[in-house]
Amino acid sequence: MALLPITKRISLDERELEESFIQASGPGGQNVNKVATAVQLRFDVRHSPSLPPDVKERLEQLAGSRLTRDGVLVIASREHRTQERNRQEARAKLIELIKAATIVPRKRRATRPTLGSKKRRLDSKTKAGRTKALRGKRFED
């Protein structure tokens, strides 16, 4: 059982990852037409026993369009000419995404605007109003 370390507390079992290799476009010349070097990494976020529920929730938010309706995260890598380099890159992308999901966002504390900021806002509105008033048409008798 090989573990893929994410943070000090979170590690993924490699059996949770599903990799498939497909033909890639891009650099490689004739090699590109013969060898399936691009990797498609699949990770079932919703059914993973390795991730805490709050991390799963944030990961689903961060994944965006890379997440299927079933909650499977699909990461593709086709930058390199070898399967191994693409495989490493896909895993690195997954680790980076999970690490980002472990960060708990700070709660916003409501604050009131300062007196100075209110005064600056009203002064700028007055100045903008004067500028616009000067743009008006003048009728001379």
pLDDT score recorded for residue 116: 97
Q: Which residue has the higher pLDDT, 90 or 37?
A: 90
- The CATH number of whichever domain residue 28 belongs to comes to 3.30.160.20
Domain range spanning residue 45?
Answer: 3-102
Whether 120 maps to a domain, the answer reads no
Whether 115 maps to a domain, the answer reads no
> How many other CB atoms are found less than 10 A from the CB of residue 64?
7
Q: 109 is written with which tokens?
A: 């504390």
- Which of 7-21, 47-61, 101-115 is most confident? 101-115
Total residues belonging to the chain: 141
Whether 44 maps to a domain, the answer reads yes
| pLDDT over 70 at 128, yes or no | yes
CA distances (Å), origin 72, targets 19, 23, 53:
13, 22, 15
Angle at the Cα of 6 (from 100 to 61), degrees rounded to 5? Answer: 30
First to last CA, the chain: 94
Whether 84 maps to a domain, the answer reads yes
Whether 132 maps to a domain, the answer reads no
Whether 31 maps to a domain, the answer reads yes
Whether 9 maps to a domain, the answer reads yes
pLDDT > 70 fraction of the chain, expressed in percent and rounded: 91
Among 16-25, 27-36, 105-114, name the one with the lowest average pLDDT: 27-36
- Which of 49-53, 109-113, 119-123 is most confident? 119-123
Whether 41 maps to a domain, the answer reads yes
Count: domains in the chain: 1
